[in-house]
Amino acid sequence: MYIYIKRVIDFFCSFLGSIVLSPILIILALAIKIETPGPVFFKQKRVGIHKSYFKILKFRTMRIDTPKDCPTHLLSNPDQYITKVGKFLRKTSLDELPQIFNIIAGQMTIIGPRPALWNQDDLIAERDKYHANDVKPGLTGWAQINGRDELPIEVKAALDGEYAKNIGFLFDCKCFFGTIVSVLKHDGVVEGGTGELSKEKVLCNEKELVEK
């Protein structure tokens, strides 16, 4: 029953949020457009509920010649690609704001496991063990307030599974308010982190285009 209530809450909160935040969205969009050529939004293929695919929306924080579908920390020199506005957006997590439109469309929820990149096979497989791929991905979640980018994939997947198993209104509230605290403190934020920070660094092919 809560899943249906959750969808109603997601829609109305996101719809209201898009109206209230519209001045900020417009200002950020103009700042991005003025600084560098290219689109305001960045679209990326992500894994949705039941391992379906959708295009996640973010504010573009990197130049358009950045390698594609590669986490930022695997780039040979990520700072050369991140714009000045982009650094601010990433530090404040404001680059994630356009995902309210993914939530309105029903592709995401406010609280849930962060959607994996389509090519993060290890994270997707690990989440399968806990049925974490069977819930809708979220703007923020249980893993995000328990380590975020610093977490190894096995730990992140286990936390996502814990959320999937115990999903409920009170748990969502705990994640929501915990996220506010984490964002204000910048807890667990590693540039481009994907939970694979303990693995050997392999640089990406810089002929393709990307974003975090």
CA distance 23 to 36: 21
What sign for the dihedral angle of Cα 100, 106, 111, 116?
Answer: negative
Q: Which residues of the chain have pLDDT under 50?
A: 188, 190-202, 205-212
- Tokens 């730990």 correspond to 155
Through-space distance between the first and last CA atoms of the chain, rounded to whole angstroms: 35
Maximal C-alpha separation, the chain: 48
| Three-state secondary structure call for residue 82 | strand
Is residue 81 helix, strand or coil?
coil
pTM: 0.82
pLDDT digits (tens, 9 = 90+) for 35-92: 999 999 999 999 999 999 999 999 999 888 777 666 666 666 677 889 999 999 988 8
What pLDDT, on a 0 to 100 scale, did the predictor assign at position 199? 45
- Name the region of 95 (left: φ>0; alpha: ψ -120 to 50; beta: rest): alpha
Are the C-beta atoms of 134 and 128 separated by less than 8 Å? no
Residue 182's pLDDT is what?
A: 82
Task: Return the structure tokens found at 85.
Answer: 């506005």
DSSP designation for 106: T
